[in-house]
Amino acid sequence: MREANRIKAGVQRRPELLSPAGDKERLIAAVRYGADAVYLAGKDYGMRAAPENFGEDDLAWAAEYCRENGVKLYVTCNTLPRNYELAALPGFLSHCARVGVDGLIISDLGVLSMAREYAPQVERHVSTQTGIVNYAAARACWELGAKRVVLARELPLSEIAEIRRRIPKEMELEAFVHGSMCVSFSGRCLLSNYMANRDANRGQCAQPCRWEYFLTEKQRPEQHFTIIENQEGAYILNSNDLRMIEYIPQMMEAGISSLKIEGRAKSAYYVASVTAAYRRAIDWFMENEGTLPPEILEETEKISHRAYSPGFYFGGEPGQTPDRSHYTRNYELVAVSQGRAGRYIKLSERNRFMAGDEVDILRPDAPPIKARLENLFNADWEPIAAAPHAEMLVYWQTGLEVPAGSFLRRAT
């Protein structure tokens, strides 16, 4: 099945590319780099508490920004709230409706019912946290008023195709296409509660599955024994990252209409790079058959990531890396373009760079280009040989098109 990289006759609708946004900067990056829709959270009720997320005013701004750019906005309301958290929920749902949110992503049946009451004009999407693994559950969600289900990550494409055949044709299926995988069933986990007193089901996961573990013997608690035969310890719960960019046609043929990128806690550069890669891949597959061009696939190697796998989509297990938890980093971000000022490009430094460094430039609405950083000046227009200070303003004299929001990265 993996070899059939073509979009079959009858599968013509271009899938939605759905990107994450943990704050305004990441939202802008997702829109600039080709997302059809973005998902984000308010200050409460979202499954990622670590990002800055969006207050009421920010949420209104996000809805307006997305409308102006022809991008849909979905708000995650997918925690499992306790009784004491419900009192403020009607106000939050009503606010989402007022500002023009396109959809609410919901896990809890009570929240689903409340969304129908307090935000009736807003689409309701059932979150992956609910664990939809069969057509009966999907149909039940439809009958409860859901427009879309975000499928459990444990499903192979063959079972997704059967779900598609057995649900109303108007119902949409969303599935993850890229990003971190959770070792627990569709993200429902209590390990963080036990080990860090942080509730993973209310957006506070400490990710203990990524920690290093040893064995101890009862009579010798001070001695730690490695679980595998080396001195690096063991990361026995550390799952690989998902990457399905090469298999977009198969996802479409299975009936998936929205391809979701994980990463609301990731950087704006990560969001831009992955969104750009999948935007180019979707557009390429809609017009071509065969193997994805290597330069598109390579973009997914220019971000920090764990070992990649196709998850559960082709059966079997998604794979783990039990001997380490660190990321692969083939590139580092050195600067972000603030746009042109006459003959110069204004750069905001992110990591130290030197005159003469070769950089790979990720640009909105254009393929990446390579360039050498020469003719650099500081804010006082003095020639400089290096940019050593965090967020230092640098003027780069060049005729290249490097629009605002471009990311300059360097191979490590």
Tracing tokens 């289900």 back to the chain, one arrives at: 149
The 3-state secondary structure of 101-138 reads CCEEEECCHHHHHHHHHHCCCCEEEECHHHCCCCHHHH
* CA–CA separation, 242 and 239 (whole Å): 9
Q: How many CB atoms lie within 10 A of CB 47?
A: 23
What pLDDT is recorded for position 213?
79
Query: Residue 165, class by beta-carbon neighbours within 10 Å (0-12 exposed, 13-18 middle, 19+ buried)?
Result: exposed
Sheet holding 366-372, edge to edge: 366-372, 358-363, 407-411, 331-341, 344-349, 393-397, 376-377
Query: Residue 294, class by beta-carbon neighbours within 10 Å (0-12 exposed, 13-18 middle, 19+ buried)?
Result: exposed
| Ordered DSSP codes for 283-326 | HHHHH--SSPPHHHHHHTTSS-B--EE-TTTTSS---B-TT--P
Contact 163, 255 (CB under 8 A): yes
What pLDDT is recorded for position 9?
45
Nearest to 160 by CA among 255, 249, 243, 18: 255
What pLDDT is recorded for position 182?
76
Q: How many CB atoms lie within 10 A of CB 331?
A: 19
* CA–CA separation, 314 and 42 (whole Å): 35
What pLDDT is recorded for position 227?
67
Nearest to 314 by CA among 62, 2, 27, 26: 2
- The residues, ordered by sequence, that sit 6+ positions from 203 with a Cβ below 8 Å of its Cβ are 41, 45, 46, 47, 48, 49, 79
| Ordered DSSP codes for 343-408 | TEEEEEESS-EETT-EEEEEETTEEEEEEE--SEE-TTS-B-SEE-STT-EEEEE--S---TT-EE
Rounded to the nearest 5 percent, the helix, strand and coil shares of the chain are: 30, 25, 45
Chain centre distance of CA 234: 27
Nearest to 204 by CA among 44, 48, 51, 76: 48
What pLDDT is recorded for position 290?
93
Tracing tokens 């057509």 back to the chain, one arrives at: 135
Tens-level pLDDT at each residue, the chain (412 residues):
444 465 554 455 899 999 999 999 999 999 999 999 999 999 877 665 556 789 999 999 999 999 999 999 999 998 889 999 999 999 999 999 999 999 999 999 999 999 999 999 999 999 998 999 999 999 999 999 999 999 999 899 999 999 999 999 999 999 999 998 877 666 667 677 767 878 776 677 888 877 887 788 888 888 887 666 555 566 777 788 999 999 999 999 999 999 999 999 899 999 999 999 999 999 999 999 999 999 999 999 999 998 999 999 998 777 777 667 678 899 999 999 999 999 999 999 999 999 999 999 999 999 999 999 999 999 999 999 999 999 999 999 999 999 999 999 999 9
Check residue 290 and give left, alpha or beta (phi > 0: left; psi -120 to 50: alpha).
left
Nearest to 101 by CA among 85, 79, 80, 120: 120
What pLDDT is recorded for position 331?
96
| pTM for this model (two decimals) | 0.88
Contact 105, 136 (CB under 8 A): no
24-32 vs 56-68: helix axis angle to the nearest 10?
A: 10
| C-alpha distance from residue 217 to each of 10, 168, 209, 224 (Å) | 61, 56, 22, 8
What pLDDT is recorded for position 1?
42
